[in-house]
Chain A
């Protein structure tokens, strides 16, 4: 029924080396898990909103201009990251690196905008339930943006001439890109639920 026979040495090599696709798959699975953390936060926020009215006189007004600019910044950064990826695939290294820097700049501009919003808001972390939830969710997302921005800078450094990222090894770039799109997508949902709803 079953036959064991010796094979070429390449079997073990195949199974230990050819993991690029699996790494992207693993990252995607991790992002599903990460997304569930946000889903839990959103569910908590929506439930609080539905059943826990804030005491009268508590402040929970958000201004919309800055967050909307921030949303546009993040959406643009997803686009520029995509441009960086396709430039690298075409082996146009300088162009790819330029787009990476632009993406990182958008990301850090977003963080600066977020900080400015934090400093101008009329409520603090422990003022009321809305304030706590707002800071927890946007803070957790900001942590993701910070990590993503650092990742972009690392990929930018690795894609220098002679670095490990090239059109033959796209994994670090593609992984950072998938992560960045994920963080971007989460922000769109967050913007809809926290600011617009």
Chain B
């Protein structure tokens, strides 16, 4: 690989603020916006984590003693909303998407840079609005699902602020999705084919299709819900002739795809990290692409599996059980592709790799409980119990958040030019992995034995297991400390990384670290084979092969 850079032909002229101030400005640089999303999201992660800590503290004892019951409901609602809409969705889409997608398609920015900045700057006000509702009146108390009639009978002010905040965040998400679709489909460097893009592009394309198709339905539904609260219409109010189940259908038409909006980008990111640190081409590129698109399609037609106890007719249960079980097929393909990517590779067990492997372990467990939950008889037994809480957190924390951390360890040298400290990173991983499993694995047992979720009080026989779970939560809280110390100290004192510390082949590494304002000094590189690891370039014409051919040709003994 030859990289010939002609130095400083022309400095890009910038009218934007420079230095750290640009991170507080209406910057249109996709890298600045990506970091804005990441840092803003991480602040909300700390807030959401503190709320989770309050929940687990309350659940140390079977009686309601730490928090008043109403406050418990508010904390629970805020925890779900903050974590989903202000941490995971913005970070895993907006954060990494904005930073990486223009590199991957060989562009200098997103298709609509100003819209991009608008999409980010909707988030902090929406978040502040949501948090402030706790201090102004009382926050929403009906959970992140806001099911009527519960959301119609809890205090109205908090619920309305909650709706406003979610509408703003939904708008931000839609603007982001439009931008990603246009960037990936329209802004590719000439000569770069869709099937040559790094996998994260495909994941973001699929995610953005889901965002554009499903988020507006949630927005419309929440507007109707706000009419029910403010104008006393009866859309979802049975006592006024309305139908509460219609709300559930419309809500889950967004919120089931929302799970894929949270987890598909993580699939993409982990598909970037595994090949680099195991020095192997990504196994089964084509099947990965088709399984992402399969998940997008199936993800849109499985929503009613959340509603098996809502009086759904038998044919509907049958259809949604079958469709949901089908999702295991494309997801399983991806799972085995990751294993095959690792198989026989030269695995570097650094923190990024450890978090990625942790993701695979946790995610397959969450996937198995997911298939179990798709079966109506089992679902009716554990519906609205801690089994569902355990399953959900295995997907969203064990899956997506593990990948977010893996990605931070992987791309930190790109962003700062310095490496994160490995021993601290391994301590972070150990605390997170042990804490996470200690916190959420016992919740499956609690749910199977009948402990309902979202209630501050429980049967005293569950005390010990709840205390175990809370101990896990404490470990997870502690795990943030080495991470924060690491991220802050390494920015100033970390080892100098060089431009490409992982010897990676994807386009974001083929420039300086940190990258210049318009990503490359000179023309963008044309990368036809982003996963050409493990084969000496002179043996195989890399530009003419696909990942699977490289896999077959690759001789394990000659891998660099």
Segment among B85-93, B122-130, B220-228 that sits at the interface with chain A: B220-228
**Contact residues in B for A86 (Cβ distance below 8 Å):** none
- A30 pairs with B217, CB closer than 8 A: no
Among residues of A, the one whose C-beta sits closest to the C-beta of B217 is A40
Cα separation A194 to B532 with both chains bound (whole Å): 57
A54 at interface by CB-CB < 8 Å: yes
CB distance from B217 to the nearest CB of A (A): 4
Cα separation A26 to B187 with both chains bound (whole Å): 12
B139 at interface by CB-CB < 8 Å: no
Within 8 A of A (CB), among B223-242: 223-224, 227, 231-235, 240-242
CB distance from B312 to the nearest CB of A (A): 12
Chain B CB within 10 Å, residue with most, of A11, A15, A51, A125: A15
**A40 in complex: contacting residue of B182, B253, B511, CB < 8 Å:** B253
**Contact residues in A for B5 (Cβ distance below 8 Å):** 4, 6
Among residues of A, the one whose C-beta sits closest to the C-beta of B174 is A33
Number of A-B residue pairs, CB cutoff 8 Å, is 154
Interface size class on chain A is 35 or more
Cα separation A33 to B2 with both chains bound (whole Å): 44
Whether A132 touches B235, Cβ cut-off 8 Å, given contacts A16-B109, A25-B186, A55-B241, is: yes
- B521 pairs with A6, CB closer than 8 A: yes
Binary CB contact string for chain B from 509 to 544 against chain A (1 if under 8 A, 0 otherwise): 011000000101111111101001000010000110
**Contact residues in A for B524 (Cβ distance below 8 Å):** 11
Whether A126 touches B243, Cβ cut-off 8 Å, given contacts A16-B109, A19-B111, A22-B186, is: no
- A1 pairs with B234, CB closer than 8 A: no
A120 at interface by CB-CB < 8 Å: no
**A1 in complex: contacting residue of B1, B179, B214, B235, CB < 8 Å:** B1
**Contact residues in B for A47 (Cβ distance below 8 Å):** 243, 246, 249
Segment among B6-14, B146-154, B337-345, B348-356 that sits at the interface with chain A: B6-14
Interface of B is mostly: loop
B213 at interface by CB-CB < 8 Å: yes
Whether A128 touches B241, Cβ cut-off 8 Å, given contacts A12-B518, A22-B186, A26-B182, is: yes
Within 8 A of A (CB), among B156-191: 174, 177-179, 181-182, 185-187
- A37 pairs with B6, CB closer than 8 A: no
Listed by A's residue number, 22 A-B pairs whose Cβ atoms lie within 8 Å are: A3-B525, A4-B510, A4-B520, A4-B522, A7-B522, A11-B523, A11-B524, A19-B112, A22-B112, A26-B112, A26-B178, A26-B182, A29-B182, A33-B178, A36-B212, A40-B253, A44-B224, A51-B243, A52-B243, A55-B241, A126-B240, A140-B223
A residues whose Cβ falls under 8 Å from a Cβ of B: 1-7, 9, 11-12, 15-16, 19, 21-23, 25-26, 29-30, 32-34, 36-41, 43-44, 47-48, 51-52, 54-55, 125-126, 128-129, 132-133, 136, 140
B residues whose Cβ falls under 8 Å from a Cβ of A: 1-6, 9-10, 12, 107-109, 111-112, 115, 174, 177-179, 181-182, 185-187, 212-217, 219-221, 223-224, 227, 231-235, 240-243, 246, 249-250, 253, 505, 510-511, 518, 520-527, 529, 532, 537, 542-543
Closest 4 CB pairs of A and B: A7-B523, A6-B522, A40-B217, A132-B233
